[in-house]
Amino acid sequence: MSLKDQPAFQTVQAPDAYPRTTSASVRYVPIVKDGTVIGYLWAATTDDAAQYVPREQAGDAAFDAAVAWTQRLRWAKANGITPLQALRHWAGEIEDARAGEVPTGAPFELPSLGMLVELAAAE
């Protein structure tokens, strides 16, 4: 292998995660950092999938938060928390430096994950 070769990375073990896609409608909450919505945390209404969607226009903070939310969702899955429970688990907690915060209040709902992705890209 020379310095010009691209290294091949292989995941040996990763914690279980919720499925990241769904054909069901989704409930979602905004993720706020420094007073700006940086993305959305969603869960399928069928309670089988969850993920974080960054807002492109929120910049690096939105994409950096994706790492924190991936870790948080893996923790939730490992601790037997359903996706819909995970959606509200962090509501009202103090803002995390990386993940931001989930404001208190009822989640919103959209008929599809695609609509939420469009919302995140359009704002």
Please tell me the distance from the alpha carbon of residue 108 to that of residue 123, in angstroms, as a whole number: 16
- The answer on pLDDT for 38 being more than 90 is yes
Cα–Cα nearest to 46, from 66, 17, 26: 26
Q: Contact, 101 vs 32, CB < 8 A?
A: yes
pTM, 2 dp: 0.86
Cα–Cα nearest to 27, from 44, 46, 48: 44
Please tell me the distance from the alpha carbon of residue 83 to that of residue 44, in angstroms, as a whole number: 7
Average pLDDT over residues 104-110: 95
Reduced to 3 states, what is the DSSP secondary structure of residue 73? helix
Query: Which residue has 């939730």 as its token pair?
Result: 76
Position 120 scores a pLDDT of 96
> pLDDT digits over 56-73, tens only?
999 999 999 999 999 999
